[in-house]
Amino acid sequence: MTVTPAATGPARAGAPTPATPGPVITGRDFPTNRGGLCRKGWTAAALLGHPERVTTPLLRGRDGIHRPVPWTLALDLIADQVQRTRASHGPDAVGVFGGGGLTNEKAYQLGKFARLALGTSRIDYNGRFCMSSAAAAGNRAFGLDRGLPFPLEDLDRADAVLLLGSNVAETMPPFIQHLQGARAAGGLVVVDPRRTATADFTADGAGLHLAPVPATDLVLLLGLSHIAIHDGFADAGFVASRTAGYQAVARSVAQWWPERVQSITGVPVHLLRETVRLLAQGARGGGSYILTGRGVEQHVDGTDTATAAINLALILGLPGSANSGYGTLTGQGNGQGGREHGQKADQLPGYRKITDPAARKHVAKVWGVDPALIPGPGLPAVELLASLGKPNGVRTFFIHGANVAVSAPNASQVLKGLRALDFLVVCDFFMSETAQEADLVLPVLQWAEEEGTMTNLEGRVLRRRAALTPPLGARSELWIMAELACRLNAPSVFSADPETVFTELRAASAGGLADYSGIDYALLDSGEPAYWPYPAGSTGTPRLFLDAFAHPDGRAVLTPVSPSADPARDPLFTGATLALVTGRLLEHYQSGAQTRRVAELAGAVPRAQLLIHPLAAASRGISDGGMVTVANTRGTVRCQAKHSTAIRSDTVFLPFHFAQDENANLLTSQAIDPISGMPEFKASAVTVTALSQN
């Protein structure tokens, strides 16, 4: 495909208009989605000219009302506030929260802006709530984390796919076409406590559905590894030549014999054995893949659970193979690229560790500063949000591309923190629940109005091209950061031009694990696939680990893991409590700030519904369609109940796309995985009570 960036042209008020025409764009058969879109994709354009679009900076007055102010005043006000905060409380009293939907250019420059212009270590992003456990496990096992270390189309020929904790039929429907080979071979295995739309694809001999007790995924995987070893399915040659740590893992899983695993997880022994047989058989045929999603990762033991999945894959000889593998599914629009170039509290561009002196020296040289100017590691998202408004915490806060008032765990406490701040700046294009709490809201561009790059779940870098002229008053976050950096007398250079920023990103990432140095806009515009790592002079890396893993000795590392009693984790089944699982719906996305504004989507699912088994509902006097309270010590949700036999009788499900008293994250815990910082989203103890209809 050949295209040049759209010219900016003069902006005007009202609905966006087409950008100045460039050369004719010729489409291509893109192999990842093959032209498919979900309902959210088909309706996304409805937001571009939405009447609720924010198109001018809005300053909140003493009366709580947001009123328009000029950009110059808004930026001067922010710079003054930052300087006063730093003078009174130190640089770490200023904080930044980014998003996995930002382009690579914005994610990169946001990390640089925080560390150089603001001088703070206090930056993290909402990907900490999404990919962090899988990333930590991947780095531990392989020495490198890329969601899928192979092109997605490789799944097409697989005979077996084990999918844990992801309802792709609703969250990314175009993905389903890549599972048809496994379905045809009878080898699709879906692990989920609900019988989801994805689990339905295993019907009629297409595979298996395993419905474990919530929060027992780690035990399930340990049991599968036990069977793989003791029933003779381990790939001894692969294990001996390409891995380290096997004996320790073999000893650690010896105690997880099938009958014991069945007693804890509720998954019958015959299904456990059949799962391993399908994976081993598939590896000898068209291929086998193990894929994990948020359902098994958003736990206080999420890193260990993802590690257990990788251990199973390594025992079976799947990673690094030409026709098999392990991967994790990225959820946000730029969930892969957004975590590679500096938004995370502990990372610098190129997936470099911020504590590594060589990494600091390299990035500092690209930025033209002394390495001593780059702060050390900051706080992961949950700890960062917990510090808001505290005496020694963050006092002035920037939020880009996130709606933490809805999406963060224990949301009522996060809301208190936002309200305790001295000053809150939110960059958004709608008045989200978080923007409503802001002292200053800055209007930014939407997807069809900006240039830049994204990196998809395969590690493939893609061009985003401006198709429309943005409304008068909306600005790119690159421009905002450049303007503020100038006012703050920041060292280094901050550009508002995406290609200039990407060129700097390439240099900063060079030699790192996520090396983009060989990628430029011309390559991306040519339509040639660009998978990182893509060092200068190379042709990229569509398939990782074929010859060696990223550890110094070239071997993958198997790490023993085991369940541990975490005092911060809710005891799920005590008395009348049920286990609450949260997740996504087909019609909505993330906090719902966008999809709840699309009439077609909001009309289809206007309110939150609690999925509850008829047996659990009957014992509580809850009618189908009746109103209920869902409560624990952290909060109370009021919503409609929906009877369903597609869920375990000890479990309830609530989507997390809704706000106010329907916000599922009023109930979730701030307990975190000690390795990844991932909060416990998927297992909360709740009581469910019928509301009086009087």
Q: Which structure tokens are listed for 169?
A: 């039929």
682 DSSP 8-state letter: S
- Distance, in Å, from the CA atom of 392 to the CA atom of 376, rounded to the nearest integer, reads 17
Tokens describing residue 608:
């939150």
Q: What is the pLDDT of residue 30?
A: 83
Question: Is CATH 3.40.50.2300 what the domain over 132-328 is classified as, yes or no?
Answer: no
Q: Worst-scoring range by mean pLDDT, 30-39, 117-126, 668-677?
A: 30-39
From residue 226, alpha-carbon distances to 134, 231, 255, 347 in Å are 22, 8, 8, 36
| Burial class, 203, CB count within 10 angstroms (exposed 0-12 / middle 13-18 / buried 19+) | exposed
- For the chain, the average pLDDT equals 93
The second-level CATH assignment, the architecture, of 70-129+334-493 is 3-Layer(aba) Sandwich (3.40)
Handedness of CA 467, 468, 469, 471 (dihedral sign): negative
Q: Which amino acid is at 313?
A: A
How many angstroms separate the CA atoms of 176 and 368, rounded?
47
| pLDDT for the residue 572 | 82
- DSSP letter for 196, please: -
Mean pLDDT of the 2-31 span = 47
DSSP bridge pairs for 100: none
**Angle, CA of 611, 617 and 620, to the nearest 5°:** 135
What CA–CA distance (Å, rounded) separates 451 from 477?
12
- pTM comes to 0.94
Contacts of range 306-310, beta carbons closer than 8 Å, 24 or more positions apart: 306/133, 306/134, 306/136, 306/137, 306/138, 307/137, 307/140, 307/141, 307/559, 307/561, 308/218, 308/221, 308/222, 308/225, 308/561, 309/137, 309/164, 309/221, 310/137, 310/138, 310/141, 310/142, 310/556
Q: Which two tokens stand for residue 368?
A: 């033209």
The contacts of residue 257 (CB under 8 Å, 6+ apart) are: 223, 226, 230
Please give the pLDDT value at position 17. Answer: 57
Is residue 154 within 8 Å of residue 466, measured between CB atoms? no
For residues 628 and 172, the model is more confident at: 628
Per residue in 401-422, pLDDT (tens digit) is 899 999 999 999 999 999 999 9
- The beta-strand segments (E) located in 562-649 are 578-583, 609-612, 627-632, 635-643
pLDDT band at 289 (very low <50, low <70, confident <90, very high): very high
Is the pLDDT confidence value at 583 over 80? yes
Which residue ranges make up each domain of the chain?
A: 70-129+334-493, 132-328, 578-690
pLDDT band for position 25 (50/70/90)?
Answer: low
Torsion of CA 317, 323, 325, 328, to 10 degrees: -170
pLDDT score of 8 more than 50: no
Mean pLDDT for 227-243 is 98
The neighbouring-strand residues paired with 629 are: 638, 689
- Does the structure show a pLDDT above 90 at 12? no
How do residues 361-411 score in pLDDT, each as one tens digit? Answer: 999 999 999 999 999 999 999 999 999 999 999 999 999 989 999 999 999
State the DSSP H helix or E strand holding residue 488, giving kind and residue range, or none if neither: none
Residue 385: helix, strand or coil by DSSP?
helix
- DSSP bridge pairs for 318: none
* Three-class DSSP category at 12: strand
Query: Percent of the chain beyond pLDDT 90?
Result: 85
CA dist 332 and 129 (Å) reads 11
Task: Quickly state the pLDDT bin for 589 (edges 50, 70, 90).
Answer: confident
Q: Give the relative orientation of helices 104-112 and 498-509 as an angle to the nearest 10 degrees.
A: 70
Distance of alpha carbon 492 from alpha carbon 486, whole angstroms: 10
Residue 191 above 80 pLDDT?
Answer: yes
Q: What is the mean pLDDT of residues 44-73?
A: 96
pLDDT band for position 13 (cuts 50, 70, 90): very low
pLDDT at 440 over 50: yes
pLDDT band for position 312 (50/70/90)? very high
Three-state DSSP string of 104-166: HHHHHHHHHHHHHHCCCCCEEEHHHHCCHHHHHHHHHHHCCCCCCCCCHHHHHHCCEEEEECC
Domain 578-690 class?
A: mainly beta
